[in-house]
Amino acid sequence: MSALVSETDSPAPPHDLASRVLYRDNLLLVLDKPSGLAVHPGPSGGDHLESYLAALRFGYKEIPAPVHRLDRDTAGCLALGRNRRALRRLGRLFERRLVEKTYWAVVAGRPADDAGTVDLPLAKRSDRRDGWRMVVDPTGRAAATDYRLRGRGDGLAWLELRPRTGRTHQVRVHCAALGCPILGDPVYGSGGPRLHLLARALVLPLHDNRPPISVVAPTPDHMAVALAACAGDAGVHRS
């Protein structure tokens, strides 16, 4: 897309995306991506964030671009570079695993231990009947996720997850491997109306001689009730 495209050339977003910007400086935007909106166009088409990025230029000539990806149904922190220089710098941080990512999930059941690490390699598999998915495979790419239990309710648990690697569907597959798939997961769990997974926070050491940038996303409404049930505190979604 041309760097000279005007903000009015972008279609109207289904959400007020400008109001969902959690952080902004000359290099970086962090967006609270809504659940249900894909980041990139998929093979079957459908709505996606890239259609609306010109609306997030905030006066810049270049259109911001995502540095990483979130699944369509995952809400929360998504980093975007505001120009080519920013994209290169941010890309190096993600490639070197210098960005700290934290997820919150509400899962069915609970892990055997209150904290630990899932260290299981993942590989992509596909067939005509079920399409594609990620599976645990000893010949796959290394994948590790640290987790800890933050609360539990009636048949549910609230997990905080910190992936050490960035494999596709990593957090979702690793939760299922623990025996507690994420609530609402149609691929690795029993499905449901909404996926209860939030990209809660990012910490990015982007600027030299300055503290890392720390950004936190609010809990989406569809997760609030389940989180409150796990925490025994109706105000948990505001923390």
The single residue of 16, 47, 71, 73 carrying the catalytic annotation is: 71
Which three-class secondary structure string do you get for the chain?
A: CCCCCCHHHCCCCCCCHHHHEEEECCCEEEEEECCCCECCCCCCCCCEHHHHHHHHCCCCCCCCEECCCCCCCCEEEEEEECCHHHHHHHHHHHHCCCCEEEEEEEEECCCCCCEEEEECCEEEEEECCCEEEEEECCCCECCEEEEEEEEECCCEEEEEEEECCCCCCHHHHHHHHCCCCECCCCCCCCCCCCCCEEEEEEEECCCCCCCCEEEECCCCHHHHHHHHHHHCCCCHHHC
Structural contact between residues 107 and 159, judged by C-beta atoms closer than 8 angstroms: yes
Core vs surface per residue 45-54: b (16+ CB within 10 A) or e: eeeebebbbb
Handedness of CA 19, 172, 192, 127 (dihedral sign): positive
In the residue annotation, 71 being an active-site residue is answered as yes
Point out the residues that are catalytic.
Answer: 71
